[in-house]
A and B are shown apart, each in its own frame.
Chain A
Amino acid sequence: MRIKSQASNLREPDLSRRRFIIAGATLSGSFLVGLPLLGLADAEKASEGSSRIGYFINILENGDVIIGNHQPEIGQGLRTTLPMLVAEELDIEWERVRIESMPLGIVKTADGYTWKYGPQGVGGSTGLTNNWTHMREVGATGRLMLMQAAAQLWNVPLEQCTTRPGQVICEAAGKSASYGELVRLASALPLPESSPALKTMDDYRIVGKAHDNLEVRDIITGKTKFGSDIQMPGMRYAVILRSPVLNGTVAGFDDTATKAVKGVLDVFPIEGPAPGAPYFILAHGVAVVADSTWAAIQGRKALKVEWTQSPNREDSSEKFWKENLEMLSGKGQIVHDQGDFPTALAASSKVIRHTYEVPFVSHAPLEPQNCYAWVQKDKAHVIAPTQSPSGASRSANAVTGIERDNIEVEMSRSGGAFGRRLTTDYVAEACIISQKTGWPIQLVWTRDDDMRNDFYRPGGTHELVAGLDDQGKVTAWSQRLASGSKYYRRPDMPDEDLWKPELYPDDFPKAMVDNFRLEYFHNFIGLPRGSWRGPAHVVNAFVIQSFLDEIAHETGQDPLALRLELLDRVEQQPYSSHGGPVMTPGRLSRLLKFVAGRIDYGRKRPEGRGVGIATHFTFGGYAAHAIEVSVSSEGNLTIERIVAAIDCGFAVNPNAVEAQLQGGTIDGLSTALELEITVRDGQVVQKNFNNYPLMKIKSVPSLFETHVMNYDDTPTGVGEIPVPPAAPALTNAIFNTTGVRIRRLPIADQLRKKMRS
């Protein structure tokens, strides 16, 4: 099945370009960030002077400081880490910090919409890096204005004023005043022309030190409101029965039994996109609106819907994997070709070739999608767990026709996201239902809705080929991939660009191997796809780090030595995709040597025990794992020990980095162990955690070390970086223990089957 993309006015944030684009951003493309921001705030604030300095800082008389947070919190700890930056430069005690949520801020200009508070949205591990300078400048400017106010008040030169936490002091005049006393004066001052100089590393009191999550107390007492917890006066609950078959449409339905369910208030069809076309919402279906979640769910159970024949009704995983192999036997699109791969391969003393399969997987955040929306005549209010509040605003605008300045978008805390909440299909659905009924609506997705209506991480079949010289040195390398591209159904996406989110040419081993080729084949299976934490890096790291071990094994080399030899070939390489502009292989070597040392990689282990290592560069950050496993003669696998290390440049909040390193590692392992989305008769087979079994505490070893290793003074992202090396470290350990090479994920029962046969 092959359907051309159709034009649409939906533009999702494009992670590979590492920016969040507001449709119709100013012509110059510049965003209002930093000081101009404060300027806007200046124009809005009360003339009397207020307790606010700009949008982000609110200093109370008692000395508490409320810091605004304008970014989504999806579990990555940004709502603690960003205030740390403001607090550091503003010079306040961390204990005085409280946070408040800011809504989406967009401003209509002659050129279209632009940001009010700076870009908002998280993806591609950019939540911290995009705000690193901006948030520190907000704090530093606030501090300067407080000092200016004090200088004026005491009639002393500004140069004689300085601060200690929460206070401006002037030793020469023997004066001091708290920020709370000065803020009204400060807030009325004209804005400084530019931000004052920022602190350097040696001066940090807050940044770089471990801080606990500011909201942990609310979370553990049940006070935190996630999206699904939003309850408003007059609110009704809605669920949708979506087409079980990919791209099916509603031919007709009988809602007699549904309407007989007590509490059901309304039933109507929801129109989805044409097959293969870009989408605001994912599927056609029938909405059931009720006065409680239970009634809505019961009403939906009673619905009888007749679905049309979908063009995808014969899609199946079996067919997908078979087609991939068929494609790989032919010629694909050469998307990168450096040196002379065919000649080098022909001239090599040894050729190694293996094929790997990596499945489709689901995001499965523990809080399913949901959205509160109230669409009135010419305004709308949306509260959603989202990574892309501007995407939510665009979706709401597209389906309701209401001007974006009249759509208020708030972000609730998200119960996980992992890339799923970059798309805002559920926002569009909630808006459609609210507009149709006129009621404030809480749209509820049940777990099976979530698992069967995802933008899955693309599955694919990879053929890796290496040519080696008589010394066992790699001289030629190619990766040939047949997959369902993430860019499938993107608006205005030419077929020849479909490979771009699947293969990253600047990745390892481009700079290390002269003759290097990448070849792509697209499989148009109807499963929707999207960005899953670390996107293609997770997939490619598994394939490449497994293949390196295979090369080492087949040429009698040590897997660690082979990797180091390759990584040591170049000092630094240009890196043009997200995470660049350069990649420093030595940073991978450092981590690899470190984790190998910690786990005593070279030590001979007793029968049934083994270790594996892997490393990968993702979106600017570096990570490595060493994993020790034991495998029983029956093929039962136990992860005995994990050593995980990350180099994220500079860890702003080492506590949050450690949490991501633990969670990211577990995500990588959990997915590799058991997780796969399959399709039969055009339908997603998995419906809930009983057949999509996430890892439980019993599989996580108590020997689990994390090492956060700084490199310089500039932070990189963190959330996605630890995921990619985890799975290949595990499968390399399995090989080291048993001689069984896992070339298909998930591992599932492969080991048991192989060991018993």
Chain B
Amino acid sequence: MINFHVNGRAVQFDGDPDTRLLWALRDTLQLTGTKYGCGIGSCGSCTVHVNGKAKRSCITPVSSMAGKSVTTIEGLAGTDGKLHPVQQAWLEHDVPQCGYCQPGLIMTTVDFLQKHPEPTNEIINTNIDNLCRCGTYVRVRKAIHRAAELSAREK
């Protein structure tokens, strides 16, 4: 039995401890906002936060979650529905096309901005490697800069 927290809620997982966190979230907890894109850690669409840090859940066994705290896209906005600054920036720039990669990109960006609160294009280029098949990168870049601005304002 593995005990951990997801979006502030205590959960217990009693299946195969080798199950990837992605599938535990999606199939068992029915949190389908976290997406499967590659299963090998290369696309980033399965990104969640584990103890506040971005992690690719498709390669993370649920056994390593014991005692940890997971945040998924569903838990990012405030309980009052107030969007996280990164989501707000995404909304303002109307970033998504098909939208499939976007939860992962948003979770990646939240963590990225914690480490790089004033990102340059260069810093974005070397740190953000999520794949977007629809090619929303032009707006993603703008939204990251905007999110940095909004986050600074919130502080």
Contacts and interface: CB of A to CB of B under 8 A. Distances in A.
Query: Are A and B genuine complex partners?
Result: yes
A686 interface: no
A416 B40 contact: no
B135 A220 contact: no
Nearest to B86: A220
A212 B32 contact: no
Nearest to A667: B135
A322 interface: no
Contact of B74 (A222, A294, A417): A222
A199 interface: no
B96 A216 contact: yes
Interface residues of B, number: 61
Interface in B8-60: 15-16, 19-20, 23-24, 26-28, 30-40, 42-43, 45
A414 B100 CA distance: 8
Interface residues of A, number: 64
B20 to A, nearest CB: 7
B134 interface: yes
Contacts of B43: 366, 689
B34 A670 contact: no
Interface string A271-298: 0000000000000000000001111001
A88 to B, nearest CB: 20
Contacts of A226: 32, 35, 99-100
Contacts of A292: 15, 19, 23, 27-28
Contacts of B63: none
A664 B43 CA distance: 19
Interface stretch (A51-59, A72-80, A433-441): A72-80
Contacts of B83: 220-221
Contacts of B126: 698
Interface stretch (A183-191, A485-493, A617-625, A655-663): A655-663
Interface in B81-124: 83, 87, 90-91, 94-103, 106, 121, 124
A75 B134 contact: yes
Nearest to A414: B98
Contacts of A416: 97-98, 100, 133-134
A226 B101 CA distance: 11
Contacts of B136: 659, 662-663
B57 to A, nearest CB: 12
Contacts, number: 194
Given A75-B134, A447-B39, A222 B140 contact: no
Nearest to A418: B133
Interface in A71-96: 73-77
Contacts of A694: 131, 133
Given A221-B77, A416-B134, A366 B90 contact: no
Contacts of A237: 27
A219 B98 CA distance: 9
B102 A697 contact: no
A325 to B, nearest CB: 33
Contacts of B5: none
A601 B56 CA distance: 44
B125 A216 contact: no
A293 B133 contact: no
A588 interface: no
Given A295-B16, A697-B141, A221 B100 contact: no
Interface of A: 73-77, 212-213, 215-217, 219-226, 228-229, 231, 237, 262-263, 292-295, 298, 364-368, 413-418, 446-447, 655, 659-660, 662-667, 670, 688-690, 694-698, 700, 702, 704, 706
6 nearest CB pairs, A to B: A222-B33, A415-B100, A75-B98, A666-B135, A222-B73, A229-B32
Given A216-B94, A700-B138, 17 more contacts: A212-B94, A213-B94, A219-B96, A220-B73, A222-B32, A292-B28, A416-B133, A418-B133, A655-B94, A664-B135, A666-B137, A688-B39, A688-B40, A689-B131, A694-B133, A696-B137, A697-B137
